[in-house]
Amino acid sequence: MIVIVKKSTPPAAVEALTCKLRDFGVDVHISQGSVHTVLGLVGDTSKLDIDQLKIFECVEDVKRIQEPYKNANRKFHPLDTSIPVGKHFIGGGSLTVIAGPCSVESEEQIIGVAENVKASGAKLLRGGAFKPRTSPYAFQGMREEGIKLLLKAKQVTKLPIVTEIMDISQLDLFDEVDVIQVGARNMQNFELLKQLGHTDKPILLKRGLANTYQELLMSAEYIMASGNENVILCERGIRTFETYTRNTLDISAVPVLKKLSHLPVIVDPSHAVGMVEFIPQLSLASLAAGADGLMIEVHNNPANAKCDGLQSLTPEQFDQLMKRAAKLSAAII
Ligand code: PEP
Ligand code: MN
């Protein structure tokens, strides 16, 4: 349920109304827009009578929210959410490019790539330490050692780091990680999502291979309902009948998710298409569709990468893409 407060209502009256609403046993989220203040009510609103709420002098309108996701719903929070990460903000009009290798492989590799992508304008460094691999015989990541190397790269370059958590037992290792990634395969690991909701770290939540927009938003809701509102949604391609590309980039996800939710939406074209050749076009298409950013795999030696070499740009290819992305962003603003 949302309560729209009349224009120019003094803050004290909004505060008094909020207290009354809390007395009804619901949680109230205040969203201060440029014109209207919107109060989002979460919890059991079934016993609240819309007409009874409309009696309050400062209430302009009261509406029930049909969608099962509340905190993530744009109706609750009409303005775009912008999430601070270091000195940078993700969402809310700024463009965020996250780049780095699929997996951390060595100190030389991660620091080298970090320096390269930073010079090209990336705002965050990615790198997998815990790797969800289809085969148990494939490289599983450097695990704890991988996180230590990411932290070294962060120290050298000052780039905030993004890395994937696969199990809540790993959380202690993520103390100095800036953004925790929940991978496609874990999008519906609800226990993990609930626990991450108890942290205050930004969570980069990737869409599952076969999940709907509503399922993605419900997963974001799990994190938010546990108290962590810092969720970034990521479209990374879904499984369709097409087999030429690794997955199918669902470009519609960008404008649709941005309409349904106030959360930032970024696109990972690397895992979507799986081939270096098409990553620049899909990156530009994603920005044109309104994405708040991109997550791109970059490797100093793709031919010898331990994971996802076929979809990893070289630092030079990434640099060229960043120049084109900057021109496009300037044109579409
Ligand atoms: C990744 O970003 O390294 C990754 C494993 O992605 P996804 O979960 O989208 O497959
Ligand atoms: Mn990868």
Q: What is the CATH number of the domain that holds 51?
A: 3.30.70.1140
**Residue that is last in its domain, among 13, 35, 63:** 63
299 lines ligand 1 (CB under 6 A): no
Verify that 38 and 163 share a domain, yes or no.
no
132 lines ligand 1 (CB under 6 A): yes
267 lines ligand 1 (CB under 6 A): no
Q: Which of 130, 234, 268, 296 to mutate to test the pocket of ligand 1 (most atoms within 8 A of CB)?
A: 268
Look at residue 69 and tell me if it is in a domain.
no
Verify that 37 and 109 share a domain, yes or no.
no
Verify that 31 and 145 share a domain, yes or no.
no
Look at residue 77 and tell me if it is in a domain.
no
φ and ψ at 259, to 5 degrees?
A: -75, -45
Instruction: Tell me which residue has tokens 């546990």.
Output: 226
184 lines ligand 1 (CB under 6 A): yes
Angle at 270 between CA 211 and CA 114, to 5 degrees: 125
Atom of ligand 1 nearest to the CA of 236: 9
Residue 135 burial class via C-beta count within 10 angstroms: exposed 0-12, middle 13-18, buried 19 and up: exposed
Residue 309 burial class via C-beta count within 10 angstroms: exposed 0-12, middle 13-18, buried 19 and up: middle
Q: Which of 166, 271, 295, 307 to mutate to test the pocket of ligand 1 (most atoms within 8 A of CB)?
A: 271
Cβ atoms of residues 249 and 282 within 8 Å = yes
Verify that 35 and 177 share a domain, yes or no.
no
Beta strands 27-32 and 37-42 are: antiparallel
Look at residue 17 and tell me if it is in a domain.
yes
Look at residue 13 and tell me if it is in a domain.
yes
Please state, in angstroms and rounded to a whole number, the distance separating the CA atoms of residues 236 and 297: 12
206 lines ligand 1 (CB under 6 A): yes
- Please tell me the total number of residues recorded for the chain in this structure: 333
Look at residue 135 and tell me if it is in a domain.
yes
Closest residue CA from atom 4 of ligand 1 = 183
Residue 14's identity, in one-letter code, is V
Q: How far is the CA of 307 from the centre of ligand 2 (A)?
A: 6
Specify the pTM.
0.96
Verify that 58 and 87 share a domain, yes or no.
no
Contacts of 282 (CB under 8 A, 6+ apart): 249, 267, 269, 272, 273
Ligand nearest to the CA of 208: 1
In CATH, what number is assigned to the domain containing residue 145?
A: 3.20.20.70
Q: How far is the CA of 17 from the centre of ligand 1 (A)?
A: 44
Look at residue 240 and tell me if it is in a domain.
yes
Ligand nearest to the CA of 299: 2
Residue 148 burial class via C-beta count within 10 angstroms: exposed 0-12, middle 13-18, buried 19 and up: middle
Encode the chain in three state secondary structure.
CEEEECCCCCHHHHHHHHHHHHHCCCEEEEEECCCCEEEEEECCCCCCCHHHHHCCCCEEEEECCCCCCCCCECCCCCCCCCEEECCEEEECCECEEEEECCECCCHHHHHHHHHHHHHHCCCEEECECCCCCCCCCCCCCCHHHHHHHHHHHHHHHCCCEEEECCCHHHHHHHCCCCEEEECHHHCCCHHHHHHHHCCCCCEEEECCCCCCHHHHHHHHHHHHHCCCCCEEEEECCECCCCCCCCCECCCCHHHHHHHHECCCEEECHHHHHCCHHHHHHHHHHHHHCCCCEEEEEECCCHHHCCCCHHHCECHHHHHHHHHHHHHHHHHHC
Atom of ligand 1 nearest to the CA of 268: 9
Look at residue 313 and tell me if it is in a domain.
yes
40 lines ligand 1 (CB under 6 A): no
183 lines ligand 1 (CB under 6 A): yes
Q: How many domains does the chain divide into?
A: 2
The DSSP bridge partners found for residue 48 are none
281-311 pLDDT per residue, tens: 999 999 999 999 999 999 999 999 999 999 9
Look at residue 216 and tell me if it is in a domain.
yes
Please state, in angstroms and rounded to a whole number, the distance separating the CA atoms of residues 59 and 4: 6
Verify that 274 and 314 share a domain, yes or no.
yes
Verify that 35 and 147 share a domain, yes or no.
no
Verify that 104 and 251 share a domain, yes or no.
yes
Q: Which of 236, 296, 307 to mutate to test the pocket of ligand 1 (most atoms within 8 A of CB)?
A: 236
Atom of ligand 1 nearest to the CA of 307: 3
Verify that 132 and 196 share a domain, yes or no.
yes
Verify that 13 and 129 share a domain, yes or no.
no
Question: Domain limits at 28?
Answer: 2-63
Residue 36 burial class via C-beta count within 10 angstroms: exposed 0-12, middle 13-18, buried 19 and up: middle
**Which residues in the chain land under pLDDT 70?**
none
Atom of ligand 1 nearest to the CA of 207: 9
pLDDT at 36: 86
Q: How far is the CA of 183 from the centre of ligand 1 (A)?
A: 5
Verify that 133 and 254 share a domain, yes or no.
yes
Verify that 89 and 58 share a domain, yes or no.
no
